[in-house]
Amino acid sequence: MSGFFRSRWVDPPEGVEELGPTALAPGFRAAGVACGIKDSGERDLGLLACDAEHVDSAALFTANAAAAAPVRVCRERADLGSLSAIAVNSGNANAATGNQGVVDAVEMQEAAAEALDLEPVRVGVASTGVIGRPLPVELLRSGLAEAAGALGGEAADFSEAIMTTDRGPKRCAMRAGGVTLSAQAKGAGMMEPGFATLLCFVQTDAEAADADARLRLAAEASFGRVTVDGQLSTNDMVVLQATGAAGRPLPEGLLEAVLLQLAIDVVADGEGATRVARVRADEAASDSEAERVARAIANSQLVQTGIFGRDPNWGRIVQAAGMALAGEDVALDGSSVDAEELGTDSAELELGIRLGRGAASAHVYCSDLTYDYVKLNAEYTT
């Protein structure tokens, strides 16, 4: 495959027409500006707005108990079923910032609403970056006013403004079944299923009265199945906005394919990553057992370094599976393992284990663990 749908594991519906990756679905505008949060002077504030009077929306958030202030504010102060706008900053996570962080996230929400002439309840807020630092609200306030004046029909600046350690923006736009869908995402590290560390924003002119159910199912099969380092972020957020202006529903499989490709792109961009693997656990006694084993293998540092080194050491896969099944008595050996692609140069490889305990199965996408991951994270704030 070529274009946006590049992965061997993604099966988009027929009749998809890819548009320029920075295009936005009709009725949506976006902007990205530099407001001074990042010392580098790069864009660090994005604003996404919908001009339609009616919007059906849905949002999913991290399960981390130490959820960041913007996540808490969205849950408690936003109408998640009718979000018209999203304000996003990078370079500062506004996490582990106590009550002041919540106050600052509320001010960010209100400043964006004022700039767009909306009720604050119609605005979602998101942050990504370093944890534990106060959010520079005054910079955000002036930046949001600037971004509101720069809104346009392209998402190029927006998708760049939401990046942190990403090597490049993750975005797409396409038509299928008479509707248009666009999406922008960021994410590269602190990544663990359930669901993974990222921000993702999806816009469409399709009808989506069932937006919440559709988003949950699509996210579970994509962002819910990726890992880079087994670390669940404080700031995860995925938002779907649908205007219904096209008068048609989302084509079956379109949202699912887009989110899966974006999820794989996030793993492929794992900090320092060079390869992506799909790890399967088959013949498990239950779905939960299969999930547990697949995640244990995908999060094994020994397996991940073996993927990086093209080392066909299948014993590490058996060890990780056995660890996940500690307390059980399971006969596993080389005949149980699918590891033929470990020693190849394939950018996407399959790994698997057959447990011989039943008919359940599960899979997780992971990246390799490289020297660059250690270097980047050892020097993240210095």
Catalogue the active-site residues: 197
Q: Is 174 helix (H, G, I), strand (E, B) or coil?
A: strand
Report the alpha-carbon distance of residue 134 to residue 92 in Å, rounded. 8
CA separation (Å) from 263 to 9, 148, 220, 279? 11, 29, 11, 15
Nearby residues of 380 by Cβ (< 8 Å), 6 or more positions away: 130, 165
Q: Which residue has the tokens 């913007």?
A: 70
Distance of CA 302 to the CA centre of its chain: 25
For residue 203, report the phi and psi dihedrals to the nearest 5 degrees: -125, 145
Burial category of 183 from C-beta neighbours within 10 Å (exposed 0-12, middle 13-18, buried 19 and up):
buried
- Can you say whether the dihedral through the CA atoms of 300, 301, 305, 308 is positive or negative? positive
Beta strands in the chain, from DSSP E residues, in sequence order: 17-18, 28-33, 45-50, 56-61, 85-92, 123-130, 170-176, 179-186, 199-204, 226-227, 237-242, 276-284, 337-338, 348-354, 360-367
DSSP collapsed to 3 states, 199-248:
EEEEEECCECCCHHHHHHHHHHCCHHHEECCCCCCCCCEEEEEECCCCCC
